[in-house]
Amino acid sequence: MKKLWASWRVEYIRSEKVKGCIFCQKPEENKDSENYILFRGKTSFVLLNKYPYNPGHLMIAPFRHLATLDELTDEELFEHFDSVRSSVRAIKEAYKPEGFNIGINLGLVAGAGVEGHVHTHIVPRWNGDTNFMPVLSDTKVLSEALASTYAQLKEIIARNMRRT
């Protein structure tokens, strides 16, 4: 049997599982680097996905606990999608991806991992990033640690984001 080491996952295995909404709790902790929060705007924030599909996978969420896009004010909606646009620019600068998956899963049946708090995923993609590992062995190999991704994107995102 071949072994694939993913030593960074031990932190998740040993950690106390968060009860409640991570998008409400993490900003209140004021531990941005520990929680991988890249940017705080007036109405929303940007953070790395702690269990990414690819390096640079991040999420944007409003500070208010809202389940749908209809509940966002115009100001929240603008800042949210302006943050999507700015985040894509930052990821392009840092990682030079060949494409992106950008999505919002509304409701459990749609794949929402955090149901009840609307958020947008941005996943950079490269030709060949889906290879034999996930297809044959249900294993995804990530080539960069989260702390490195955070350091790479933090400065670029701060430079590219608007502070409304």
CB 39 within 8 A of CB 46: yes
Task: Give phi and psi for 112, each to the nearest 5.
Answer: -65, 115
What is d(CA 97, CA 55) in angstroms, rounded to the nearest whole number? Answer: 10
What is d(CA 57, CA 153) in angstroms, rounded to the nearest whole number? Answer: 11
Catalytic residue among 57, 65, 80, 119: 119
The question of whether 117 is a catalytic residue gets the answer no
What is the number of other CB atoms lying within 10 angstroms of the CB of residue 83? Answer: 27
Closest CA to 120 of 128, 112, 108: 112
Closest CA to 83 of 127, 116, 41: 41
Catalytic residues, which ones?
119
